[in-house]
Amino acid sequence: MLEAIPKITLWDVIDILIVAFLIYRIFVYLSETRAIQILIGLLVLLMFSVIAKFFHFYTLSFIFNNLITIGIFALIVIFQPEIRRILARIGEKQFGIFTTEEEAEKVIEEIVRASASMSEDRIGALIVVERDIKLDNYIEAGTLINGAVSKELLITIFWPGTPLHDGATIIRKDKIYKAGAFLPLSLNPHLPQTVGTRHRAAIGITEETDAIAVVISEETGAVSISYAGKLIKNLDPPKLKKVLKGLLVKKAKEKKNFVDYFKRRNEESF
Ligand SMILES: Nc1ncnc2c1ncn2[C@@H]1O[C@H](COP(=O)(O)OP(=O)(O)OP(=O)(O)O)[C@@H](O)[C@H]1O
């Protein structure tokens, strides 16, 4: 009798613990999202399907099985932004969008200076820094600018009443690429009612892509930053600079090392 039970090794225990931990993490993650109801629905269907099979109700079992398949597709559709972001992160290039650390710091400096000034003057703004995922699908309607990033140009774009002040301005590398772009609004049901459309647009684009969005509230002058669907509010200029540096410069540094390494290798080999 005991021989029928396979021997459990230490590796099996580790294997089971890892799987248990992953299931636990996925469940905790799902419990905070809208997918949990669908997941519970799927589990109930699965239970019915097993019961139907047990009592040989083949038609019922057939229907439940098909509903489970539809439910799995529904989960994929609902989780499409999250799946896209996770896959993009797995395949993320190691080297960021800027060519050098100096280039990244210059862009950050201009964004911080423009944000501080617009915050003081209560000028509403939404500045999105594109990273590895191209934003072209979202910004087709925007107006092409292609000008160097500067505090002056940013303030001019968002100056109330001007044609481009509505919508988002997109920064691609060291250029203001487009202005007046309309972004997808976040559908996160947990966002408080008080979060307006400008902030929802900032959260929306960072939920779907790896972009970073800086928002200045017209109402309060508060400067916020959104990344990966999260919003950090009320940043003073030094804090904004620190967060932007953390998100952008580290990558530029890695790229600089990479470029230097390749230069050295080229010099050595020629
Ligand atoms: N989908 C969108 N994409 C880009 N910008 C948008 C979008 N929707 C609204 N905006 C911008 O937000 C402005 C309206 O902001 P609203 O007051 O509704 O939001 P808010 O988050 O409360 O911002 P504020 O604190 O500045 O008032 C619009 O004039 C427009 O410029």
Q: What CATH number is associated with residue 249?
A: 3.40.1700.10
Whether residue 7 is predicted with pLDDT greater than 90 in this model: the reply is: no
Assign 56 a pLDDT band (cuts: 50, 70, 90).
confident
Residues 127 and 26 in one domain: no
Ligand 1 center to 51 CA (angstroms): 52
Does 161 share its domain with 236? yes
Report the separation in Å between the CA atom of 199 and the middle of ligand 1, taken as the mean of its atom positions.
7
pLDDT in tens, 93-112: 544 577 788 888 999 999 99
Residue type, 234: N
**Span 200-239, pLDDT tens digits:** 999 999 988 889 999 999 999 999 999 988 899 999 999 9
Q: What is the mean pLDDT of residues 129-158?
A: 92
Is residue 86, in this structure, part of any structural domain at all? no
Contact 215, 226 (CB under 8 A): yes
- Domain assignment present for residue 247? The answer is yes
Per-residue pLDDT averaged across 73-101, rounded?
Answer: 68
* Domain's final residue, options 78, 93, 119: 78
Residue 242 maps to a domain = yes
Q: How far is residue 262 from each of residues 7, 140, 173, 189, 253, measured CA to CA in Å? A: 52, 36, 21, 47, 14
pLDDT at 196: 93
Taking CA atoms only, the protein residue closest to ligand 1 atom 17 is 196
Is residue 150 a part of any domain in this protein? yes
Say if 92 falls within a structural domain.
no
Last residue of a domain, one of 46, 78, 110: 78
- Confidence check: pLDDT of 269 > 50: no
Asked if residue 181 lies in contact with residue 144, where contact means CB atoms within 8 angstroms, the answer is no
Q: Does 194 share its domain with 238?
A: yes
Pocket of ligand 1 (CB under 6 A): 124, 126, 166-168, 182-183, 185, 196-199, 201, 217-219
Whole-number mean pLDDT of the chain? 84
Q: For the purposes of burial, counting CB atoms within 10 Å of the CB of 166, is it exposed (0-12), middle (13-18) or buried (19 or more)? A: middle
Do 32 and 158 fall into the same domain? no
How large is the ipTM?
A: 0.93
Q: Which domain holds residue 115?
A: 101-269
Quick one: which of 160, 179, 159 has its CA closest to 169? 179
Say if residue 25 is in the same domain as residue 144.
Answer: no
Mean pLDDT of 148-176: 95
Decide which of 78, 109, 141 is a domain's last residue: 78
Confidence of residue 259 (pLDDT cuts 50, 70, 90): low
- The yes-or-no verdict on residue 270 having pLDDT over 50 is no
pLDDT at 225: 95
Distance 146 CA to ligand 1 centre (A): 23
What pTM value is reported for the model?
A: 0.68
Domain assignment of residue 116, yes or no: yes
Q: Does residue 95 sit within a domain?
A: no
pLDDT at 95: 41
Kindly state whether residues 119 and 69 are assigned to the same domain: no
Going by pLDDT thresholds of 50, 70 and 90, the confidence category of residue 182 is very high
Q: What is the 3-state secondary structure (H, E, C) of 10-74?
A: HHHHHHHHHHHHHHHHHHHHHHCCCHHHHHHHHHHHHHHHHHHHHCCCHHHHHHHHHHHHHHHHH
Domains: count for the chain? 2
